[in-house]
Amino acid sequence: MSFSLFGERLKTDVTNWEVGPYHLSLPGPIRLSLKLDGEVIISGEVETGFLHRGLEKCFELHSWKSAIPYADRLDPEAAVFGELVYCLAVEEAANTLVPPRAQAIRIILSELTRISCHLANAVRIARAVGAETVLHYLLRDREKIIDLFELLTGARFSLNFLRIGGVRADVTEGFIERVLDVCDLIRVRLKEYNDLFTFNHAFLKRTINVGVLSPALIKKYGMTGPNARASGINADVRKDRPYSGYEILDFEVPLGRGEGGTLGDAHERFLIRLREVSQSIEILKQVTEGLPLGEYLTPTEDKAVPEGEAYVRVESSRGLLGCHLMSLGGTAPHRVQFRAPSGFHLQAVPELITGLKLEDLSVVLASLDLSISEADR
């Protein structure tokens, strides 16, 4: 055996290092090719596509209705947004009206999913900094929301609940009360998370002034959602182009304030998501209070949608989710193309991580709330 301990020179110049596609600290299967100068990242490249499943093609092979389970799987964690954007696009192309009760149920599901996704993102950030305790608390509370999904739709993640023209079924008995209970519980828990984690000094040290997204970077890559709002850019599809009943609701969109650190650092993104959770609770209370009576589905027969195009935007938990639908009047969509927010966030990653220390990389990637399944489709 040769004594190889100091046989290799200690590499003191620029090192190349490839991480991925499987690594504990990555948000999903991506490959990062990093050039490192000691601890500092000089440049990085992101390679995606490891989770490409040909999802958009699958839409063309099935009827309008049986394509909905595929829309679920655009972003499995936040299934409702995929369904919602697809159904809205088809409804726009087919000029189908959605009854108010169905719109309210869709809002309930959307906001519950938003809370669940933000909690899951907080779990990933906590894992990146090594805070085990708050991680388990967050997962415990997310379970309550997932149980709500099962109560309403029958499934925990792939809901398959929205239909073209409404929703599949009415709310079950006791669902609204359970929703309000969960809202109260989460409000209590938010205070607990703040005591335990949000302002913990070690966490602040890991996230303040780390991974700052400047507004110029955001505009350059078209980033949206909480990532953009944490840098002070006020853009929210629910306010700018309201859909599905958001017009009549009264809520404010949380913006980054930059107190305690830089505007747009990882801590601000974390805070924004917690504030959005409490905002979603407000919206849920409003909607459940005045749940409109009436039909939950405008019956359409799973038949042809007239020829035409539609483009619909939805505010998913990660950003602006768009769906471009083309119909040639057949029994199946001719082409469906999604504009997934995570794809645009990923484009900003190489520029964002230059100058970052290596240990901060997993924290910054977690704070961006990337969904590789959405980006790769």
Site for another protein in 77-96 (CB under 8 A): none
Binding of residue 140 to another protein (CB under 8 A) = yes
Q: Map the footprint of another protein across residues 145-204, applying CB under 8 A.
A: 150-155, 158, 160, 168-169, 172, 185, 188, 192, 195-197, 199-204
308: exposed, middle or buried (Cβ count in 10 Å: 0-12, 13-18, 19+): middle
Give residues with Cβ within 8 angstroms of 123, minimum separation 6: 135, 138, 139, 142
Among 127, 239, 241, 335, binds another protein (CB under 8 A): 127
Using CB under 8 A, pick the residue from 17, 294, 303, 306 that binds another protein. Answer: 17
Sequence-distant (6+) residues with CB within 8 A of 9 are: none
Instruction: For residue 17, give the H/E element and its range.
Output: strand 15-19
Residues between 21 and 60 that touch another protein (CB under 8 A):
23-25, 36, 38-39
Query: Which amino acid, 268?
Result: E
177, 289 in Cβ contact below 8 A? no
Q: Which of 238, 221, 295, 280 is nearest to 84 (CA)?
A: 238
Contact assessment for residue 180 and residue 288, using Cβ atoms and an 8 Å cutoff: yes
Minimum CB separation of residue 249 from another protein in Å reads: 27
Q: Could you tell me the two tokens for 8? A: 């290799």
- Asked whether position 64 contacts another protein by CB under 8 A, the answer is no
Q: Please, is 18 exposed, middle or buried when counting C-beta atoms within 10 Å of its C-beta (0-12, 13-18, 19+)?
A: exposed
Of 206 and 313, the one with the shorter C-beta distance to another protein is 206
Please identify which residue in 66, 95, 234, 354 interacts with another protein, judged by CB under 8 A: 66
Is residue 130 close enough to count as binding another protein by CB under 8 A?
yes
From candidates 206, 269, 273, 377, binder to another protein by CB under 8 A: 206
Site string for another protein, 95-114 (x = CB under 8 A): --------------------
Quote the least distance from Cβ 329 to another protein, whole Å: 20
| Binding of residue 13 to another protein (CB under 8 A) | no
